[in-house]
Amino acid sequence: MCGRTSLFAPPELVAERFDAEPVRPLEPRYNVAPGQEHPVVRNDNADAIRFPTWGLVPQWADGSPSSGHVNARAETLAEKPSFREVFAERRCLVLADGFYDWKETPTGKQPYRIERENRDPFAFAGLWEPSGDGERATFTIVTTEPNAVVEPVHHRMPVILDREEERRWLRGGEGNDPDELADLLDPYPASEMHAYPVSSAVNDPENDAPEVVEAVAAEEDVQTGLDEF
């Protein structure tokens, strides 16, 4: 699963990295939640960074982004009615420099931040959908099996693409066959990622400040240490 993400890399670095210009200024975001707008690069215009709302709502469905699909399982993209057409026609790069997930522990759920070792920005595989009235697009993040870094925290992780895979994801397979993109939807190499515990402040989307990404002692480790006295 991916229920929180971030993008606070310098705007000029983001624009250069993805060779795209934002349609409005990029603001640093440390704790992005579903129902909020977030930067993506869409396959219908790879030169622009746009800001759809996280939570994909199919055009044929009633509902708001707050009730949309936050994640889409890679294994069923070509089968589920909510994603089948979108997977074939409307893919996007969801820009990020880290994400958060929660580990079940004896003392409760401990949030972890997961990012690349070099802390550079990267892209999740995403799907986007225009709204029925054309006013606001929505998006979802594709998830897959976890790698060795994420597995101790959660049983799913977002699909992270490398640069060559980003181009293929936007361009599509030969003949625009989405089945030819299936090999992109695998776990990102664990050797290039790391995870660390962060404060439970990330639980509240109102907390969107640099302090959210700071490492803390895991609550279970703190409790274990106290038990030794």
Q: What is the pLDDT of residues 9-21, one digit of tens each?
A: 999 999 999 999 9
Measured distance CA(34)–CA(24) in Å, rounded:
20
Looking at residue 46, its amino acid is A
Band (pLDDT 50/70/90 cuts) for residue 136 is confident
Return the sign of the alpha-carbon dihedral for residues 145, 61, 22, 207.
negative
User: What pLDDT is stored for residue 201 in this prediction?
Assistant: 96
Structure tokens given for 193: 């990622």
Stretch 42-50: mean pLDDT, rounded?
A: 96
**pLDDT of res. 229:** 33
Q: Residue 47's pLDDT is what?
A: 97
Confidence band of 185 (pLDDT split at 50, 70, 90): very high
Alpha helices in 61-214 (DSSP H): 84-89, 163-171
Superfamily of domain 4-227: SOS response associated peptidase-like (3.90.1680.10)
144 pLDDT higher than 80? yes
State the pLDDT at residue 226.
40
- Cβ–Cβ under 8 Å, residues 121 and 93: no
pTM: 0.92
Question: What stretch of H or E contains 154?
Answer: none
**pLDDT value for 31:** 98
Q: State which H helix or E strand residue 219 sits in.
A: helix 219-227
| pLDDT above 70 (res 208) | yes
Q: Which residue has the higher pLDDT, 23 or 173?
A: 23
